[in-house]
Structure 1
Amino acid sequence: MTFLPELLAPVGNREKLETAIRYGADAVYLGGPIMNLRAKSAAFDWDALCDGIAYAHQHDVSAYMCLNALPREQDLKKVDEALEHISGMDDASRPDALIIADPGVLAKTRKLLPDMPIHLSTQANTANSSSAAFWQDFGVSRVNLARELDLQAIMNIRRALPDLELEVFCHGAMCMAVSGRCVMSAHMNNRSANLGLCTHPCRFDYQVKAIAIEEKTRPGTLAWEVYEEDGYSSILAAEDLCLIKFLPWFMENGVHAIKIEGRMKSGGYLAQVVDSYATGLRALKAGTFRADDHLGELLNTASRPLTSGFFLPEGKRVTYPAAEVQHPIVGRILAQTGDESWQVAVRTRFDCSKPLCILVPGLERPVMASTEYSFENPQGERRDTVHSGTTLTLRASHPALSEGLFLREAAE
């Protein structure tokens, strides 16, 4: 069973939706205002959700809606409310599938929306073929497998259930808890991660004196060590997943979809990551794929080391340190306002004496020297430095410039 997997990208707002599609996603996943796991800062209201799904369909991109929170008894009315909204959507704005984790939500969906495809969330922690078959018997057409599985376990499930679609996370943040079922946020801040309210205490900085642990049967080998930075340490923060090197394996072993984590990440982050994987998949199809051609772009986005996580058997791991020098996203082109003028939303402080890189889909990265562009404020005054949060006019004639593309500081 060999085929190119679908590239599934996270979208937390309209800009990210347009970005994911522009940079090559085959499908997107997004959440409405109720019962999705990014409820506070990466959710669409109902009107925006319908418009977003319709926009995806206009571009031949599938849209999957997250209904993957784990509801308590008092939350069941919210589930019913969400399903009622979905049942009223027309074909153009109706999601192509619902992403669900809770069996009660699945049962309600099967009753109210019997024809709606169901994708099982990673929150369900599906780690073996019997569990996957159980969900398939209850109408699930695709299972997002537990992130704790290695490639051999994934292969075994594929062989046992050849007619079930499998989805695997390929990139993004990993959780210290099993399949994301964490209670730290609820314990520390009374906000449950399983209801979409995670405050990410695993990323907090904690003050420690010194920790270096040696396991009894492995003398001389440290099993766990904490390092301090400015007096504090992120002792619970996992490294980020990166499986770009293993795209050929996904194609050769019948994985239907590879999924990028990050509905709360920025649009600039999404552009670079989606472009890397989408371009990698096209190169794989053409027989020209080389992981190193795409890895540098991913390292530029990384705030933590990238790793293969649990993917390799026998505890083996490939780790890539974050880039020593990263080139930040400068802004996003909002619209063309003249023959050689563009409206740009600035995302970071930038010295305009530096070269500017255009992020063109296909991992094309043309560079404009400082003499080939300028930024102006609304009064037409040239700016030597631009600042985050401002909207300015870019004067440039480069043929690669286009609405919706991101600009990045170029390597000098």
Structure 2
Amino acid sequence: MPDAPHIPELLAPAGTPDKLATALRYGADAVYLGGPDLSLRAKAAGFDIPALKDACTCAHTFGARVYYTLNILPRESGLHGVRERLEALNDLDPAASPHALIVADPGVVRLAQRIAPRYPLHLSTQANTSNSEALAFWADQGVARVNLARELTGPDIAAMAAAGREHGVEVECFVHGAQCLAISGRCLLGAAINRRSANLGLCTQPCRFEYAVRESIDLEEKTRPGHTTWRAACADGFGALFAPEDLCLVHHLGWFGRVGVAALKIEGRMRSEQAIAQTVDAYRAALDGLCDGRMPGQAVMDELRHAAARPLGTGFFCETPRLLYDPEASPFIRRPMAGKIIAPAGDHRWSVAVKGRWDTAAAIDILVPGLQRPRLAPGDYALENAAGERITLAHSGMDAVLVCDHPDLSAGFFLRLA
């Protein structure tokens, strides 16, 4: 009988307590989160120490792991804050503690080993680990897992996974989400434009800003006449000129398992809660399918299209990059989210947070974990406002009550227009 396939850990973003609960509910094996600073994400995507303890307790009830990010590349003036955070982490009760720390800077590695030695260290992609000798170096420093550079091809990753086994260190890879024009995210564009350095946790993603293009522009490099390096054309005069498509490697999950990659990481602590629900659910279903020898089907890819904010492609993974989905060119119809079920309200009623324009003449899909999508036809449900009055239209930001008797309704599930 053949051995069961190796199924890598599914590692999802958790920028807020609600996003944490969503990632866990929809099937993440582990989540990564940070504090209000020191973790390369905005304060809005962070947990202070009391919130961190609650997050860890919540994750433990799901049997999931929590990895805490300290992947800032600090300047001298920032070291005091790093020391204080490590001391606070070291004082946490093990029952409400992260399972590992995600770090990038050699100085932070050294401080973590001195101040909070009980935590395994996972090396961030910010460290740009691109070869086996670098992997061996970090293994020598006591690092337990390395998130490889995002610029690597499939053969590069396979070689690094083999090197990791030789040196006793796990390797982890990003498989979905935003890509960066800088080397492994080490970007100075924000620092140059608005004095907010990505490497100090202040990234404003100026690569996603829209810039004016007065005319269509074809950039041609001087020594390569006839070869277009970059083309910019914006119908309304502005466009996100520097933004690459999002990474999507869902069709290669079996390959990652075969080469021995320990964890597959989804980018997105700043993304919406509904995007996290759909993305995590799709990857969980795809990974579970590997156990039965099934490749990701159309339902998986459709779910990722629903969640996509930008085109999806294979990035550097394939020698010849593949564009998998372009929202502007595809006939696929993305369905907007209608709402999220907050809690039962008695008598077949559920309090819901409305996420978009919701007309009760539309059918609704319940996003049940496991990529199940039972449908509520018009007439199978009703909406009420806070005063208990029946309404036929709700708008984003409203609190409403869903009146429906269906066995698949549950707190925390999302509802999408069908």
Q: Same fold, TM exceeding 0.5?
A: yes
**Contact 2:162 2:259 (8 Å CA) reproduced:** no
Cα distance, 1:213 vs. partner? 2.3
Cα distance, 1:291 vs. partner? 4.0
Q: Which residue of 1 aligns with 2:30?
A: 27
Q: Which residue of 1 aligns with 2:128?
A: 125
**Contact 1:62 1:96 (8 Å CA) reproduced:** yes
Whole-angstrom distance in 1 between the partners of 2:321 and 2:164: 26
Q: Which stretches in structure 2 are left out of the alignment for 5+ residues?
A: none
Q: Confirm whether residue 263 of structure 1 aligns to residue 269 of structure 2.
A: yes
**Contact 1:173 1:261 (8 Å CA) reproduced:** yes
Whole-angstrom distance in 2 between the partners of 1:148 and 1:15: 31
* Percent of matched pairs sharing the same residue: 50
Q: Which residue of 1 aligns with 2:396?
A: 388
Whole-angstrom distance in 1 between the partners of 2:212 and 2:18: 37
Cα distance, 1:40 vs. partner? 2.0
Q: Which residue of 1 aligns with 2:409?
A: 401
Q: Confirm whether residue 343 of structure 1 aligns to residue 348 of structure 2.
A: no
Correspondences of 1:84-163 after superposition (within 5 Å): 84-162=87-165, 163=168
Structure 1 SS opposite 2:43? coil
Q: Which of the numbers 192, 198, 201 marks the counterpart of 1:187? A: 192
Cα distance change on mapping 1:352 and 1:198 into 2, 3 Å: same
**Contact 2:145 2:169 (8 Å CA) reproduced:** yes
Structure 2 SS opposite 1:25? coil
For the aligned residue pairs, the C-alpha RMSD in angstroms reads: 1.5
Q: Which residue of 2 aligns with 1:306?
A: 312
Offset from partner CA, 1:189-240 (integer Å, 9 cap, x none): 1211111111111111111233102356765543311120311121101110
Whole-angstrom distance in 2 between the partners of 1:229 and 1:245: 33
Correspondences of 1:1-400 after superposition (within 5 Å): 3-162=6-165, 163-209=168-214, 210-215=216-221, 220-313=226-319, 315-322=320-327, 324-400=332-408
TM-score after normalising by structure 1? 0.96
Q: Which 10-residue stretch deviates more, 180-189 or 103-112?
A: 180-189
**Contact 1:310 1:317 (8 Å CA) reproduced:** no
**Contact 1:33 1:46 (8 Å CA) reproduced:** no
Structure 1 SS opposite 2:238? coil
Cα distance change on mapping 1:70 and 1:277 into 2, 3 Å: same
**Contact 2:366 2:409 (8 Å CA) reproduced:** yes
AA aligned to 1:388 is S
**Contact 2:171 2:261 (8 Å CA) reproduced:** yes
The structure 1 segments of at least 4 consecutive aligned residues displaced by more than 4 Å after TM superposition are 215-221
Offset from partner CA, 1:291-318 (integer Å, 9 cap, x none): 43311110111121100000012x4434
TM-score after normalising by structure 2? 0.95
Whole-angstrom distance in 2 between the partners of 1:338 and 1:42: 33
Q: Which stretches in structure 1 are left out of the alignment for 5+ residues?
A: none
**Contact 2:341 2:350 (8 Å CA) reproduced:** yes
Whole-angstrom distance in 2 between the partners of 1:358 and 1:289: 24
Whole-angstrom distance in 1 between the partners of 2:372 and 2:225: 50
**Contact 2:381 2:402 (8 Å CA) reproduced:** yes
Whole-angstrom distance in 1 between the partners of 2:311 and 2:222: 28
**Contact 1:34 1:82 (8 Å CA) reproduced:** no
Structure 1 SS opposite 2:212? coil
Structure 1 SS opposite 2:109? helix
AA aligned to 2:387 is Q
**Contact 1:149 1:310 (8 Å CA) reproduced:** yes
AA aligned to 2:145 is R
**Contact 1:31 1:67 (8 Å CA) reproduced:** yes
Q: Which 10-residue stretch deviates more, 214-223 or 135-144?
A: 214-223
